[in-house]
């Protein structure tokens, strides 16, 4: 006998409240993006592997360990998207979207990484994504971050989340800082964790991200970016922080917040919470002025963020349900046929209706109560003959007869 089919590890099935929470987040995202003038965009769920290998960096964990990569029947190497930015950047180049710059776009959907599943982290997970491409002004960073803050406010969780902000400076700043970090960490190479020693050779800025306790004293004594900021980079960051203050967005400076890849410049930020254990970041982003250039395009300034829908879903309260306005309780074949038409009319009038498909009157009334209906519409041969229905208020128990033609108006006014 075959064993029961199970969901693949790291995937999830959602029903009821979990699904409602998920789509509450998506609906809020869609409302807020309209306020900020962001267009909706769709990109493929898989791309040529080179799109992600070039944009994420061959040495990152995502590329080396976590991507779902496969060869199709034509022999091409394809990868399920581990994030959205690379695909949007590819579309910006291949579809000629440069003509729309500065381009403000959003999307959401599934992404895939082969990670160890834990609370708020899945192998098929879902992200919100917002990007401004072709704008190099600090005001675009401010607008994008304010968008994230307003989304969190819309979800009712802004007080549980802190915005952490840093600058990575311009290329000159970053190169000088990186060289100083390499020199610092090289002096402590044999005191670093194994992972940080690997990062020292491949991606030294990421050592500042280390979660290994033995690395903490070495990281704490490392050079900070402020010591290497050019006048231009300091001015850019000053305009971002002043803009956030003007927009009423609270922020905290975190000089250890970094992005390891060379195409990241200037602003880096995360909205973090202490309510999700290790998975503290709910929105993370930054300026990536060098990405499109690294993909073979012209120099194109850009800034963006991504947010985990599952993580945001865990933070919000249970969505308020409008509930069912009326449950139909037909008695007899003729009433069952008539009830189908009545339900359709009420739904077209904007009223939520439910109808049990089987059972005697007692069972159907139990169903009406179980779905939380405000009213039960009881329909039998006698009621049909009079062109009426018996409408029972399930909270008060009061019952009255109402003409079928007046049902929608009566229920809306109740």
Known binding residues are 83-85, 113, 127, 131, 259, 263-264
Edge-to-edge order in the sheet of strand 46-48: 46-48, 77-80, 69-71
Length of the chain equals 414
Nearby residues of 61 by Cβ (< 8 Å), 6 or more positions away: none
Q: How far apart are CA 348 and CA 339, in angstroms?
A: 14
Question: Using CA atoms, how far apart are residues 160 and 317, in angstroms rounded to an integer?
Answer: 13
Binding residues for L-histidine: 83-85, 113, 127, 131, 259, 263-264
Contacts of 355 (CB under 8 A, 6+ apart): 327, 328, 330, 339, 340, 343
Cis omega before residue 115 (within 30°)?
Answer: no
Q: What is the DSSP string of 272-334?
A: E-STTTT--EEEEEEE-TTHHHHTTS----EEEEEEEHHHHHHHSPPPPP---SEEEEE-SHH
With CA atoms as reference, report the closest residue to 355 among 389, 384, 404, 365.
Answer: 365
- Distances from the Cα of 368 to the Cαs of 11, 346, 353, 362, 402, in angstroms? 34, 16, 10, 10, 19
DSSP state of 64: I
Residue 62 neighbours by CB distance under 10 Å:
16
Distance between CA atoms of residues 232 and 237, nearest Å: 9
Phi, psi values for residue 308, rounded to 5°: -80, 120
């Amino acid at each position: 006998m075959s064993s029961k089919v199970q969901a693949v590890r790291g995937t999830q099935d959602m029903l009821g409240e979990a699904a409602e929470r998920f789509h509450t987040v998506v609906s809020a995202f869609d409302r807020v993006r309209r306020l900020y003038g962001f267009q909706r965009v769709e990109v493929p769920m898989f791309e040529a592997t080179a799109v992600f290998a070039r944009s994420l960096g061959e040495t990152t964990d995502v590329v080396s360990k976590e991507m779902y990569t496969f060869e199709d029947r034509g022999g091409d190497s394809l990868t399920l998207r581990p994030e959205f930015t690379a695909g949007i950047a590819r579309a910006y180049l291949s579809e000629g979207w440069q003509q729309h710059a500065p381009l403000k776009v959003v999307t959401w959907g599934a992404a895939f990484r082969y990670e160890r599943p834990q609370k708020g982290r899945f192998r098929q997970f879902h992200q919100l994504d917002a990007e401004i491409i072709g704008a190099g002004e600090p005001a675009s960073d401010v607008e994008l971050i304010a968008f994230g803050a307003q989304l969190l406010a819309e979800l009712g969780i802004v007080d549980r989340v802190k915005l952490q902000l840093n600058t990575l400076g311009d290329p000159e700043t970053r190169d000088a800082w990186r060289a100083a970090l390499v020199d610092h960490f090289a002096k402590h190479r044999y005191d670093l964790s194994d992972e940080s020693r690997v990062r020292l050779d491949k991606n030294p800025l990421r050592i500042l991200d280390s979660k290994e306790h033995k690395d903490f004293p070495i990281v704490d004594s490392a050079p900070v970016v402020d010591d290497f900021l050019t006048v231009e980079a300091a001015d850019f960051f000053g305009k971002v922080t002043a803009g956030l203050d003007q927009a009423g967005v609270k922020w905290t400076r975190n000089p250890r917040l970094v992005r390891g890849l060379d195409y990241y410049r200037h602003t880096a930020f995360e909205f973090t919470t202490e309510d999700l254990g290790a998975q503290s970041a709910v929105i993370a982003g930054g300026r990536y002025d060098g990405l499109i250039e690294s993909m073979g395009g012209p120099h194109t300034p850009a800034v963006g963020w991504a947010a985990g829908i599952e993580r945001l879903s865990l933070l919000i309260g249970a969505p308020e349900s409008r509930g069912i306005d009326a449950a139909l309780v037909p008695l007899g074949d003729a009433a069952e046929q008539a009830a189908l038409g009545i339900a359709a009319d009420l739904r077209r009038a904007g009223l939520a209706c439910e109808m049990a498909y089987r059972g005697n009157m007692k069972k159907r009334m139990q169903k009406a109560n179980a779905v939380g209906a405000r009213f039960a519409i009881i329909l039998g041969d006698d009621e049909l003959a009079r062109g009426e229905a018996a409408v029972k208020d399930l909270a008060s128990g009061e019952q009255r007869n109402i003409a079928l033609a007046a049902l929608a108006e009566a229920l809306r006014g109740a």
